Amino acid sequence: MHNNTAISELIEAGKWISQRGWVPATGGNFSARTTTGFVVTASGFDKGQLGTHTFIQLDHNGDRSAGSAKPSAETELHLCMYKLIPSANFVLHTHSVAATVLSRVVKGHSLDLQGYEMQKSIAGNTSHLDTLSIPIFDNDQDIDRLSLLVSDHHLHTPIEYAVLIRGHGLYVVGRDIREVRRHLEGLEFLFSCELERLKLEGISAEAKV
């Protein structure tokens, strides 16, 4: 995939994601793997109003090859996800209310979802009876250290499609723009359902361990 194609697809995805309120203020960041390396959104831009000037181009080693804007502090975590998941060609990082709150309510190391038909929107999931587990990592301003934790987790429990950063948001991957958008929409629906279930059933944070 050429850089310009990837950037165009991320610009359109940004409009769609922004309309749903999943990237408030200038939060979130998006990236894609390309034939020459990677493209990633720069820091400080409204993700609903992206343009070619709001992207940085990186080579295969992650070094800047084009673009003068300030790189996102979380670029390293994007590159980590690509390294861990060779089939991933897109990473979307969002800050929805449901994802952010659930990542704090659940005290364990994963958000485990079961019983939802929408689980089948995630590649490789074929039944609501299966458990869909999204790993959760504590937030850390040291992105290199956080990336190392994600990599260490992957060694014993491979990450397939998404991770949650506690009190921060969601990182979701896909093989192409359609898949990553489907994964994002499916997971956001599941998160909203789970959050509503917890509120209705009155399950306390202490009970979700």
Coil, helix or strand for 41?
strand
- CA–CA dist 183, 42 (Å, integer): 23
Q: Give the pLDDT score at 106.
A: 92
- pLDDT value of position 204: 54
Rounded distance between C-alpha atoms, residue 192 and residue 144, angstroms: 30
pLDDT tens per residue across span 50-96: 999 999 999 999 988 887 788 888 999 999 999 999 999 999 999 99
Single-letter residue type at 147: S
Q: How far apart are CA 190 and CA 119, in angstroms?
A: 7
- Name the nearest CA neighbour of 22 among 184, 146, 138: 184
Q: Which domain holds residue 91?
A: 3-207
The model's confidence at residue 205, banded by pLDDT at 50, 70 and 90, is very low
Pairing type for strands 90-94 and 169-174 reads antiparallel
Rg (CA), the chain: 16
- Binding-site positions: 93, 95
Which pair of structure tokens corresponds to residue 181? 């958008």
Strands 162-165 and 131-137: parallel
Give the residue numbers of the binding site for Zn(2+).
93, 95
Residue 142 maps to which CATH number?
3.40.225.10
3-class SS letters over 112-135: EEECCHHHHHCCCCCCCCCEEEEE
Taking the model in full, what pTM does it have?
A: 0.92
CA distance 56 to 43: 10
Give the count of domains, the chain: 1
